[in-house]
Structures are given as structure tokens and as C-alpha cells.
Amino acid sequence: MKCHICNRSTDSFLHEKTGIIYYHCKGCEYIFKSSEYYQSIEVQKERYDLHENSEENEGYRAYFQRFLDFVLPLVGRPKTALDFGCGRSKLLAMMLKENGVECNVYDPLYHPDISNNSKKYELIVSTEVFEHLHDPKIVFEGLLSRLVPGGYLALQTQFHPNNAEVFKKWYYHQDPTHIVFFRPQTFKILAEMYKCDFVGDNGKNMVVFQRDQELRQ
């Protein structure tokens, strides 16, 4: 099986308890489930509807604050942003606005309409989205295209342990809607592919990129 990201050959391993086959690329350190375990968007929505992510929930606010505490010092002072895959809640967009950043939201299930699809942003954020994507490389490229030159893309998804036996005991893959898994190396390879700068990661679950500033006119 070829890697979705770098097209190299992968090693497969079986999770004995679930019977699920995973593919592990040793080049870019990407792991993905066998496609027969991918779920339809309708089935995924049933699970998402169970999430209790209230905008009044202080724990949920603290969760996003940790993301902003990492991202905002790296991205300067953006004026416009897009929260891609925001889910039902607009809390992250609200918190960005509290920091002086006007933020639009998009989610294919809950907020599917973006009135101006050609609009470009200084910052795009996407939290706990990439692990659900059937083709993350295409989505990554599409998000970069929605940035102004010099704009930033900030993602949050748990980095896997990069060891098959440890991975099998890892909690994150147990969510059936989580189908693909990343490491900082995966994102560095993506940055090289699409000629953007890898700004940094937090070693756990957050990463920031910058679109090439030389594209400024």
C-alpha cells in the first residue's frame, strides 16, 4: 500500500483486538487505517452529535485557550481568520475575535455556507479535524490556497507514538471516526511538498505553517 502523503511503500500491522489493519509509512511517519474502516459522513455525524461542547463550558474554553496560547505568539497580529471544521460551536471563532481577529467559520455538517468562497485569510485554524480526513493532502493544499501570501495555517491533531505496539495501546485511534494519524515529520514533508514554511510544533498535537512570504506583491 502506498502512503497517501509521500507515495512511498508502507508497512502494515494488525490490531489484534479490533481486527483493523493499519499502514505505517516510515518515510513521513504517517499512519492510516485500511479504507474499509472509513465511515460515511452520515455515520460520523451521529457521533459528533453526541459531543457536548457548549460555548459556556469553561473546560472547553480552556481547551481552546491552550491552542491559542501556542499559536498566537507565532503568527503576529492577523486581522482575518477562518476556523475550518469548527463543528457546531463557534467558540474558537469567538475567542479569536476577543483577540482582535475577525473569524469566519466553516463545517461541512453544521456551518456549510461560506458566503465568499474566494476570500483569503491571514490565519486558518483547524482543531481535531485532520484525523477524520480521507485525503488530508488535498485538504492541506486547499487550505494553503485560501491564505494570503505570508498567512498562517495552524492545526491541532494528536501526534501518534510512531511505534506499532505502542500505537495499539494509544487511546486516540479508538475513536472510529479517527482514520489517519500524523507526526511532526509528516507535516514537515507536507510543507516541503507545497513550498510553505514549517514554523513549529509543540511536540504533542499542534503545528503551524506559513505560506511563502515571497509571494507578496
pLDDT tens track for 126-166: 999 999 999 999 999 999 999 999 999 999 999 999 999 99
Q: Is residue 123 part of a domain?
A: yes
CATH number, residue 95: 3.40.50.150
How many domains does the chain fold into? 1
Q: Is residue 1 part of a domain?
A: no
Question: What is the percent of the chain where pLDDT is above 90?
Answer: 80
Q: Is residue 9 part of a domain?
A: no
In this predicted structure, the answer to whether residue 215 has a pLDDT above a threshold of 60 is no
Task: Tell me the mean pLDDT in the region 5-15.
Answer: 98
> Could you tell me which residues come within 8 angstroms of residue 56 by beta carbon, excluding any fewer than 6 positions away?
none
Structural domain range at position 146: 40-50+57-215
Q: Where are the alpha helices (DSSP H) in 72-199?
A: 91-98, 136-145, 164-169, 184-193
Q: Is residue 10 part of a domain?
A: no
* Closest by CA position to 181, among listed 67, 19, 72, 20: 20
pLDDT digits (tens, 9 = 90+) for 51-83: 666 666 788 999 999 999 999 999 999 999 999
Q: Is residue 6 part of a domain?
A: no
Question: How confident is the model at residue 49, as a pLDDT?
Answer: 63
Question: How confident is the model at residue 110, as a pLDDT?
Answer: 86
Q: Is residue 105 part of a domain?
A: yes
Other Cβ atoms closer than 10 A to 96: 23
Task: Tell me the mean pLDDT in the region 190-198.
Answer: 97
Q: Is residue 210 part of a domain?
A: yes
